């Protein structure tokens, strides 16, 4: 899969009234010439193995995130709350059906 900015393509095609006359081959070549967007896939919290949902539904706690911290006696782990659509560099996609 290759990510491209289709907004640029659509704007360019809309600027040319004769785009309807383009052959499929021409359109494929035009799309192939577009620059690839540099992007990395992410795992959203709701799909992460480290994240557990809490009672209010759209928030949860991460058991891996470096933003968590421990209590003064180091016995109780305290985690920040994250919305389900948040993501981080440490996300690991869940393999179960949750």
Residue 82: exposed, middle, or buried by beta-carbon count in 10 A (0-12, 13-18, 19+)? buried
Instruction: Compute the average pLDDT of residues 34-46.
Output: 86
User: What whole-number distance in Å separates Cα of residue 78 and Cα of residue 71?
Assistant: 7
pTM: 0.53
- pLDDT given for residue 29 in this prediction: 84
Residue 64: exposed, middle, or buried by beta-carbon count in 10 A (0-12, 13-18, 19+)? middle
Q: Are the C-beta atoms of residues 8 and 34 closer than 8 Å to each other? A: yes
- pLDDT given for residue 47 in this prediction: 92
Instruction: Compute the average pLDDT of residues 32-38.
Output: 86
């Amino acid at each position: 899969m290759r990510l491209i900015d289709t907004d640029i393509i659509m704007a360019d095609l809309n600027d040319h009234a004769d785009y309807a006359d383009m052959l499929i081959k021409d359109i494929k070549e035009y799309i192939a010439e577009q620059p690839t967007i540099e992007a990395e896939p992410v795992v959203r919290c709701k799909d992460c193995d480290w994240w557990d949902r809490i009672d209010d539904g759209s928030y949860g706690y991460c058991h891996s995130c470096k933003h968590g911290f421990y209590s003064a006696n180091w016995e109780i782990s305290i985690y920040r709350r994250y919305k389900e659509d948040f993501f981080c560099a440490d996300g690991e996609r869940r393999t179960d059906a949750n």
